[in-house]
Amino acid sequence: MDRIRLVGGHSLNGDITISGAKNAALPLMIASLLTDEPLVLHNVPRLADVKQLERILENHGVDIAVHGRRRGEAEGVGQRMTFHAADIVDTTAPYDLVSKMRASFWVIGPLLAREHKARVSLPGGCAIGTRPVDFFLYGLKQLGAEIDIEDGYVVATAPKGGLVGGLVQLPKVSVGATHTIMMAATLARGTTVIENAAMEPEIDNVAQCLNQMGAKIAGIGTRTLTIEGVEKLNGTTIEVIPDRIETGTFAMAAAMTGGDVLLRGARPDHLQAALDVLVEAGAAISTEEHGIRVKRNGNGLMPVDVEIDPFPGFPTDLQAQFMALMTRSNGTSHIRETIFENRFMHVAELARFGADIVVDGQMATVHGKSQLKGAQVMATDLRASVSLIIAGLAASGETIVNRIYHLDRGFERLEQKLQNCGAEIERLAG
């Protein structure tokens, strides 16, 4: 199994091109199930999760083509891919595929909307909490679906001619449930209203794509989405937005090590809460024509208290990275995780660097230190794995990060991007 080796103490200087957002690319790929015409996506990141979802979609009968670079296209640009679900040949999403990635469960919405039936395994993914699918199933029931759980599978049917619009009042903001119900509602008869919908930029990217396909979605970017069902959706072409989590991760790496990094293609409006926190911590952040510039001189990092919230708040997917940053602050910071109940598994691994972190329920108290020491560590989930990279970049000596398949699920060419900015980092095979 591959590992990453890095030696800390090098400031980061240079440019990093931000990849397409994994959390937008995956639901956009799933949206291809809603139409029998081709859906073309630009800027799709090269990730293990994307490859896994390709296998799931192919199982349903989707033809997938990856196109080559165009003349004049810059190196590092994401893939251009076509997804064509001319005919759904199988409405079952089997355990061996779905168990590896939670987002693959979202196929239940389009399959139910288009084929009026679906049999989808209960999902897997990172072990960061239970993340039940109750909200998904509640929403689909409000659209007239009949749902049973049989042998670890959700078996859903839409009798009497398909789904029917309805009022879906989500008891808690859920990105996955919003994606799934929104996609399902596009082909339902009548009007669907989703209250307490997620507002993440990835939701907007998918909603805009669906509208280009002929859907009628109003309220994009708000907590209330209104969807007028249509009989059929057409194909379209759309670009995957830049990855705000990758942006925030590299911004924190620059703040951790010092230096001057331009994050090309980054959208500040997609993670303003995180950028504001970095400024409080002592980083200088400016918006430029080509992206976001992050600088930090040799001054120490200031401690900042953070509470994790749905967008537009501080994202849970940057919590582990921010905790790594705070291990080097000049004081004590507090991080309250409100989204997932088990997302502090990286604390034990950060402690191997010498970090001083105390967890009490959903609150982590981080006592900053002037020095971390390199260590052998193990990735526990996707975002936690990159927090270990951030700690290793600032630690003295050598760090080895094991189980890096988690990194490959969500970060494209991580080592190369950091190497180009002066980090001493490499992948070790086997």
| Residues written for the chain | 430
The reply to whether 174 and 159 lie within a common domain is: yes
- What's the DSSP call for residue 396? B
The reply to whether 187 and 111 lie within a common domain is: yes
Using 50 as the pLDDT threshold, list the residues of the chain that sit under it.
Answer: 125-131
Of 239, 263, 297, the one marking the end of a domain is 239
Cα–Cα distance for residue pair 221/208, rounded to 1 Å: 10
Of 212, 239, 266, the one marking the end of a domain is 239
Q: Which of 399, 398, 397 is nearest to 388 (CA)?
A: 399
Q: What's the domain range around 138? A: 22-239
Of 220, 239, 258, the one marking the end of a domain is 239
* Cα distances (Å, whole numbers) of residue 264 to 11, 202, 251, 355: 18, 19, 11, 31
Tens digits of per-residue pLDDT, 109-153?
999 999 999 999 987 544 434 446 889 999 999 999 999 999 889
Tens digits of per-residue pLDDT, 5-37?
999 999 999 999 999 999 999 999 999 999 999
- CA angle, residues 276, 280, 284, in degrees to nearest 5: 75
pLDDT at residue number 89: 97
Q: Could you give the count of Cα atoms lying within 13 Å of 180 in the half-sphere of its Cβ?
A: 30
Which residues are annotated as part of the binding site? 22-23, 102, 172-175, 317, 339
Tens digits of per-residue pLDDT, 304-318?
999 999 999 999 999
pLDDT at residue number 101: 84
Amino acid at 186: T
pTM reported for the whole predicted model: 0.95
> At 12, which CATH number?
3.65.10.10
- Which residues are designated catalytic? 126
The reply to whether 148 and 226 lie within a common domain is: yes
pLDDT at residue number 69: 74
Judged on CB neighbours under 10 Å (0-12, 13-18, 19+), 118 is buried
* Cα distances (Å, whole numbers) of residue 232 to 69, 166, 287, 311, 324: 32, 19, 41, 31, 48
Which residues are annotated as part of the binding site for UDP-N-acetyl-alpha-D-glucosamine? 102, 172-175, 317, 339
